[in-house]
């Protein structure tokens, strides 16, 4: 049980803790998008963002939340709808097929699913459960997590516009044994207007704690970019994969016409698969070390005319 005195002390003395806790409880629901974004930015990054003339990467990501509202982005952020988008742009071979899609957990026909699978919510980040063996699968725990995620409007936490109108659903995908392990590798490509600017190699379990997962950042020529944000670099950098040219070409095709988006991939048994498209990495509240990289990445992004 949490120590109530420690909780009260942190609520009184730690503005970041207090702001994030109250936000998690929907305390700021009546704030406008801009008001909440500024409050969260100050709590996380200890400074006020310039949203009138943004220059930093974090400022530009939050500007894009407020002023770059293209309906097609919703499709790209929806974990089910994006499969068709990627199939149209790249071909179906890049897409892990959906084994089913449902609005409610109780609608899932588990008898029709294979012995191993992954359930994901279509409208959030982190709303997934893994089944490695149906005979031991804790369906009650899975239902509790998935239904909790389905009930949440992911948009309200950080006002990430693309999540606002995604219909909450559940999809099932095949389980890949190359993912979800301490040595698993994912590739996250930061793209601006259809050009890959940074190739990030992530090692470890997705959404794991910051001290056990690593990120190594490369430019197009394969040079290490000497910074980190939350996840630190590997002691020995994890190299870009042999399939890097194919992955870069695919990311650039998917990101055409988008001011900034991160396109994720993974490689399983030598085959490149699309993962997801993320419009606001870390919700736009990224702490760079060293901090000047916030401006370096910001220079990559050319903001469009306002589209709301």
Q: To which residue do tokens 């629901």 refer? A: 29
pLDDT tens, position by position, for the chain (308 residues)?
A: 457 778 888 888 888 889 989 998 999 999 999 999 999 999 999 999 999 999 999 999 999 999 999 999 999 999 999 999 999 999 999 999 999 999 999 999 999 999 999 999 999 988 899 999 999 999 999 999 999 999 988 899 999 999 999 999 999 999 998 887 888 999 999 999 999 999 999 999 877 777 889 999 999 999 999 999 999 999 999 999 999 999 999 999 999 999 999 999 999 999 999 999 999 999 999 999 999 999 999 999 999 999 98
- Distance in angstroms (rounded) separating the CA atoms of residues 119 and 142: 9
As to burial, measured by CB atoms within 10 angstroms (0-12 exposed, 13-18 middle, 19+ buried), residue 257 is: exposed
**Cα–Cα distance, 118 to 131 (Å, whole number):** 6
pTM to 2 decimal places: 0.93
Q: Note the residue count of the chain.
A: 308
pLDDT of residue 1: 43
Nearest C-alpha neighbor of 115 from the set 128, 103, 130: 130
Tokens 């974990």 correspond to what residue? Answer: 79
CA distance 48 to 38: 7
At 2 the pLDDT is 56
| Architecture of the domain spanning 179-300 | 2-Layer Sandwich (3.30)
Q: Do 66 and 34 touch, CB atoms closer than 8 A? A: yes
DSSP the chain: ---HHHHHHHHHH-HHHHHHHHHHTTTTTTS-HHHHHHHHHHHHHSS---SSS--SHHHHHHHHHHHB--HHHHHHHSTTHHHHHHHHHH-GGGSPPPSEEESSGGG--GGGS-SSEEEEESSSSS-EEEES-GGG--HHHHHHHHHHHHTS-THHHHT-GGGTTPPP-EEEEE--TTSSSTT-EEEEEEEETTEEEEEEEEES-TT--TTT-EEEEE-TTSPBP--EESBPPPSSPPPPPTTHHHHHHHHHHHTTT-SSEEEEEEEETTEEEEEEEESSGGGG---EESTTHHHHHHHHPPP-S-B-
Q: Where are the domains of the chain?
A: 4-51, 97-174, 179-300
Which two three-digit tokens encode residue 26?
A: 């929907």
Largest CA-CA distance found in the chain, in angstroms, rounded: 56
């Amino acid at each position: 049980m949490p120590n109530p005195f420690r909780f009260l002390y942190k609520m009184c003395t730690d503005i970041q803790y207090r702001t994030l806790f109250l936000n998690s409880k929907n305390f700021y629901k009546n704030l406008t998008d801009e008001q909440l974004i500024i409050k969260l930015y100050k709590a996380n990054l200890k400074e006020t963002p310039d949203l009138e003339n943004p220059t930093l990467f974090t400022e530009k990501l939050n500007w894009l939340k407020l002023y770059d509202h293209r309906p097609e982005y919703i499709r790209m952020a929806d974990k089910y709808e994006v499969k068709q988008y990627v199939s149209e742009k790249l071909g179906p071979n890049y897409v892990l097929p959906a084994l089913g899609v449902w609005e409610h957990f109780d609608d899932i026909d588990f008898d029709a699913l294979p012995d191993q699978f992954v359930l994901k919510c279509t409208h959030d980040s982190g709303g997934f459960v893994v089944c490695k063996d149906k005979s031991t699968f804790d369906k009650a725990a899975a239902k509790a997590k998935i239904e909790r995620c389905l009930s949440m409007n992911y948009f309200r936490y950080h006002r990430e516009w693309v999540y606002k109108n995604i219909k909450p659903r559940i999809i099932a995908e095949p389980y890949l044994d190359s993912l979800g392990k301490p040595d698993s590798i994912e590739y996250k490509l930061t793209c601006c207007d259809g050009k890959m600017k940074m190739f990030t190699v992530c090692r470890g379990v997705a959404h794991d704690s910051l001290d056990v997962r690593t990120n190594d950042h490369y430019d197009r020529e394969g040079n290490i970019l000497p910074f980190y944000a939350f996840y630190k670099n590997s002691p020995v950098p994890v190299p870009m994969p042999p399939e890097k040219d194919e992955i870069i070409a695919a990311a650039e095709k998917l990101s055409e016409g988008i001011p900034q988006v991160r396109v994720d991939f993974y490689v399983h048994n030598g085959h490149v698969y699309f993962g997801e498209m993320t419009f606001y990495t870390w919700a736009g509240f990224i702490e760079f070390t060293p901090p000047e990289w916030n401006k370096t990445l910001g220079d990559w992004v050319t903001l469009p005319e306002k589209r709301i």
